Every structure is written in C-alpha cells, then in structure tokens.
Chains A and B, each alone.
Chain A
C-alpha cells in the first residue's frame, strides 16, 4: 500500500518535472537566434565533443588544475543519481539486498562524502563563500542530506520516513534553486557546443587540445 510520504514524493516529482519543463519553455521562449554567417564547422561534432572528451580533465584546464574538486563533483553527482534510482526502486516496492545493495551503497557513500566535502569547501573557502548566495548552501545541503539518508536507508529501513521526507524537500527545491542545472546543464552545454562547433573551434584539431 502506498503511504502518504510516497504519494508526497511522487507529487514532488511531478512538481519538479513540471516546473523544470516550464523553466525550459521560459528560456526557449526568448527565441532562437537566426544565424546568417556560413558555418565553418559541424555543430553536431561540437556537441559530441562537448559532451564527451571535452568534459575530461585532459581537455579542460579547470578540471585538470582542480582534480580533487572535479572528482568530488563527479562522485557527488553519481551519488545523487544513485539516490534517485534508489528512491525509484523503493517507490515500486523493491528492497535491495546482496551485491545489488552494495552497488548502490558505494556511490551513495561516496556521494555523501563528496557532497559534504564540497559544502565544507564552500563554507570555509573565503573566496568561494563570497561568491555564494544562500541558495548555494541550501541546495548543497538538501542534495547531500538526500544522498546521506539514501545511504543510511540502505542500512536501516527505519529511516524510510526521514529519507522520503528529505526526498520530497529536495524535489520541491529542484526547480526553485540552482539544482535546476540538472536541466540547464544539458541545454547550456548544447548551446555552447553548437556555437563553437559551428565556428570550427570544437572539436579541436588535436587532442588533448593543448598539445
């Protein structure tokens, strides 16, 4: 039988998806730039590069020079994805055990640690703190708590209510705060990639591009 909290999670999911869709429509409502200059490169190749090699530390100096943070970011996002997968399984009544449970626990634990690390970094690095607004802390806190509680829930079913309640809060906040980048990351990277792909900058003639 579906509990009230499960219904709440589903409703929050609908809210998140619905508002993300609205945000997408709002952004695209600004229209599409009509381009007259003849293309020098292939935008599709630019997109393939930007979503592939172009995200790797080999291609990006910002990733290369900040590898711990970059790996923490990757770990954090993998943890969040694992958490979302886990909550989806719980909603359809599947309890994990054995190796499958371990397969979820590893990224969840890593995600929780990485998220905490990034939160601490934001709070205690003066420059990063100055760059931040309250949403940065709230979003990070909600997502980290979500991953941490997901991990805890894999250990104890007694945390079911806490985990589902936290999931609701997270989903409610997704389209309001900066977690909306779960959508805009893709649209932004697409637009940037088509721009540089069209101009022949992406993909670079050699890889890694600095060689």
Chain B
C-alpha cells in the first residue's frame, strides 16, 4: 500500500498555511453558480441511486449529497457568518486534516465527475462542478493521488501522457500508413504528418499508438474513404488532458495549449478530437476557459465529422458486415458534459444491422466507472471496478455482442469490466465499426 502511506504522509505534513492555501483556491474557483449550488442542498437523498458508486455499494459515503455535504460543510464554516456562529446546527465543519482525508476519499475515490447526479438532483445542483472545485483545492495542497498527478506531469514534460517520443510516434504512423495502404488496396493512401494548411488536424489518445494502433488505423481509413484533407501533428497530437481531473487549471491550460499551438503551426481550420470523452470536453469546452480566450477555429468531435461524411454521401457502408447486436456506451464527458449525443447513433444506425440502446442512455446513461481520472488511481481500483458493475449489468441486459464506446478511457474500463464480469462482448470505437463496414468502389486517393 505505498500510495496509501504516501497520501497519509502528505496529510500528516500539512501545515495551517496549506489549508489556508487550499481554501483560497477553493474560494477562487467559486462563481455565483457554484456559491448558489453550495447553498441549495436539502439532503433529500433522492440523488443516491443516480450514482453508480451508490448503486454498487449502497454506502452512505457514496451518496452524491454526502459527498457534496462534505464540501458544503467547509464552505459554510469558512465562508459564511451563520456557519461560523451556528456550526453544529447548520452542519458546518472545519477544514482540517480529517476533513482533507474525507475530501480525498469522497472526491477522488468515490466520484468520476460524471454529472449524472446533477441531472437527477431535486433542486438542480451541478454537483460535479463543486467537486471539481474541491479537487482544485486538494491539488493546491498536494493531495492529488500521485499516480493521477504523474499522468499530468508526463503530459507537461513530454507532450503526451504516455511519454511517447516523437520518433516512436512518427514510426508508428508510418507503419500504420503501410497497413492502411494494404487494407484499402491503395498505395496512395496516406496518413499525412504536419501537412500545413490541411483542413483538419486530427488528434489522438496516446493509448492508440501505444496499445490500440488498429483504432488509429480505422480513423485513417475513414479519412481516406471520405477523401478528407487532413493531417496529424508530429508534436502536440495528444488530445488527453488529465488536468481536467486533478482540477489544476494552470496545468490543464498548458496541456490544452499543446493542441492550439499545433493548430497555429499547421494552419488547420478544424481541430478534430478523436474518440475520447474527456479529451473532447477539455478541448472543446474547458480549454477556452482555462486559457481565457476563444478558439480561433472550430473544435469538433470525430463523431460529428463522420456524421457529416455520411450526410454528404462521402462514406458507403455495408451494414450486413455487422450482423450481431451492437450497443452504444455514452461517455459522460462527450454526451452529458459535451452535448455530443446523436451523431454516434446516426452513424451506428447506418453501419450495423441491429443497433440496440442501453437503458438508460444518452445524457441519462451510467458512467462506466473509468472517468474522472479513476483509471489512473490504483488505490481506488477495487471501488472503480465495483462501481462499474452497474455498467456491466446495463451491457448484459442489452443483449449486445459488441459494445461501441467512443472513448479510449471508457474502453479501458469496459475491457476490465468485460473480464471481471464475464460479459463476453467485443469493445470497439465508432471508427472501427465504420471502417469494418466501409465499401470502396475503387481505390481512392490516387
């Protein structure tokens, strides 16, 4: 349990000044909306079943209102007069070592920031936003679990979260380009690197070149079939941003800036975020806020782009190649937080013979359990897999043989759930499903 000991050691070292700094950062993260959220909870408890953690363990500590109350109690005690004067009556509590430990356990250990509770809150509290502000405070105090923080540090130091060197990246792309040419039977097929002035800059989750190269090849096949003017970047190609999970906006902004600099360097017009939920939310919605400026270009999900291709008749597919029932997982950051809900459905309805929805789905879908940085935090692994049981049951009830997940973090978690809960399904990205169904009339790109 080295991580556990390390965290306890860090907690033990905290000085009063650390708590003051944490509180200052927390206050600084609040705006009128969050201050309002912190005043509103009536602790009705109706949010409980909306949380996959609670559904899995039925523990008080997993109820969203409990997690929120730990933060709200500190807010009351340190930011309100009435909380200072009548703390016992109003449930106001000091931000001390015990509370910091509670925050870490509740906010990092039992929450994937999926936001499902926000939609189900009786009063409408956007709980994930408040808990992210609390994560920021913990980040300021050095209490982010070290393995999660190391992913952010890796991104800052090497430009991608897996430390893939530029040479390895380029060689992987070149190898995949050869594979693409063989697969589509067209020696003119390309995966352009650093093509200046290309319309589309395509960004990638480092898990693709590292562990799932066929996923990247599938995306390239779709671009090739659609005759897109596209490129990948030799540097600044990683779409992930774990700063979204640690709550450190400065680091998150620096990571996001990698993509923006690639766009500027190559002069592309549209930044396409590959299939990654948090990557999309970070680049599309959060990066402008972290950096304090509007993007001077369009940021879109690869799903939206593929939907365009279908609408414009640029892709021909044979749905008979996917005869088994296929279901769709809705990544929280892409769908609930990102608003990209229908393109993936439009695509799958055209690409597979039997598309079945999970129940519930879309913005009401359950988190797979891998979000919020959970996959990177070893100390909470058992809880993560247990909470993922809700998703496993959804998949089982769908009767599908294939689960499509437009998010590589979700795919990692779903693969673990597949093993743990013996689901016996295959798990693919949307691009993989489309690429497998593509029909080429004749070689293109010559």
The residues of A with any CB-CB pair to B shorter than 8 Å are 23, 26-38, 40-41, 50, 60-63, 65-66, 69-70, 73, 125, 127-128, 130-136, 138, 176-178, 180-181, 184-185, 187-189, 191-193, 195-196, 199-201, 204-205, 209-210
Kindly list chain B residues whose C-beta atoms are within 8 Å of the C-beta of A27. Answer: 32, 35-36, 39
Question: Is there contact, CB below 8 Å, between B363 and A201?
Answer: yes
Residues of B41-86 at the interface with A, using a CB-CB cut-off of 8 Å, are 41-50, 60, 63, 65-66, 69, 80, 82, 86
Question: Is there contact, CB below 8 Å, between A184 and B60?
Answer: no
Question: Is there contact, CB below 8 Å, between A177 and B288?
Answer: no
Question: Is there contact, CB below 8 Å, between A37 and B284?
Answer: yes
Question: Is there contact, CB below 8 Å, between B285 and A136?
Answer: no
CA distance A30 to B31 in the complex (A): 5
Check if B202 is an interface residue, CB within 8 A of chain A.
no
Question: Is there contact, CB below 8 Å, between B289 and A36?
Answer: yes
Residues of B248-292 at the interface with A, using a CB-CB cut-off of 8 Å, are 284-289, 291-292
Select one of A70, A131, A134, A178 contacting B88, CB under 8 A: A134
Name the distance in Å between B408's Cβ and chain A's nearest Cβ.
Answer: 22
- 6 A-B pairs with least C-beta separation: A133-B91, A200-B339, A36-B288, A189-B124, A191-B33, A62-B120
CA distance A36 to B30 in the complex (A): 17
The residues of B with any CB-CB pair to A shorter than 8 Å are 27, 30-37, 39-50, 60, 63, 65-66, 69, 80, 82, 86, 88-91, 118-126, 129, 284-289, 291-295, 335-342, 359-364
Question: Is there contact, CB below 8 Å, between A26 and B60?
Answer: no
Residue from the set A134, A138, A210 with the largest chain B CB neighbour count within 10 Å = A210
Name the distance in Å between A97's Cβ and chain B's nearest Cβ.
Answer: 35
Select one of B60, B129, B293 contacting A131, CB under 8 A: B60
Q: Given A30-B35, A61-B360, answer yes or no on A131-B337 (Cβ-Cβ < 8 Å).
A: no
Kindly list chain A residues whose C-beta atoms are within 8 Å of the C-beta of B120. Answer: 60-62
Q: Given A131-B60, A134-B89, A210-B360, answer yes or no on A32-B36 (Cβ-Cβ < 8 Å).
A: no
Question: Is there contact, CB below 8 Å, between B339 and A131?
Answer: no
CA distance A181 to B36 in the complex (A): 9
Q: Given A31-B31, A33-B31, A127-B45, answer yes or no on A199-B338 (Cβ-Cβ < 8 Å).
A: yes
Kindly list chain A residues whose C-beta atoms are within 8 Å of the C-beta of B289. Answer: 33-37
Kindly list chain B residues whose C-beta atoms are within 8 Å of the C-beta of A204. Answer: 341, 362-363
Question: Is there contact, CB below 8 Å, between B123 and A69?
Answer: no
Question: Is there contact, CB below 8 Å, between A135 and B91?
Answer: yes
CA distance A209 to B338 in the complex (A): 16
Which chain A residue shows the least CB distance to B362? A209
Question: Is there contact, CB below 8 Å, between A131 and B33?
Answer: no
CA distance A178 to B123 in the complex (A): 12
Name the distance in Å between A190's Cβ and chain B's nearest Cβ.
Answer: 8
Question: Is there contact, CB below 8 Å, between B49 and A65?
Answer: yes
Kindly list chain A residues whose C-beta atoms are within 8 Å of the C-beta of B66. Answer: 131
Kindly list chain A residues whose C-beta atoms are within 8 Å of the C-beta of B335. Answer: 201
Name the distance in Å between A203's Cβ and chain B's nearest Cβ.
Answer: 10
Question: Is there contact, CB below 8 Å, between A191 and B32?
Answer: yes
Kindly list chain A residues whose C-beta atoms are within 8 Å of the C-beta of B40. Answer: 181, 184-185, 187-188
Question: Is there contact, CB below 8 Å, between A32 and B31?
Answer: yes
Question: Is there contact, CB below 8 Å, between A30 and B34?
Answer: yes
CA distance A130 to B152 in the complex (A): 37
Which chain A residue shows the least CB distance to B91? A133
CA distance A191 to B65 in the complex (A): 18
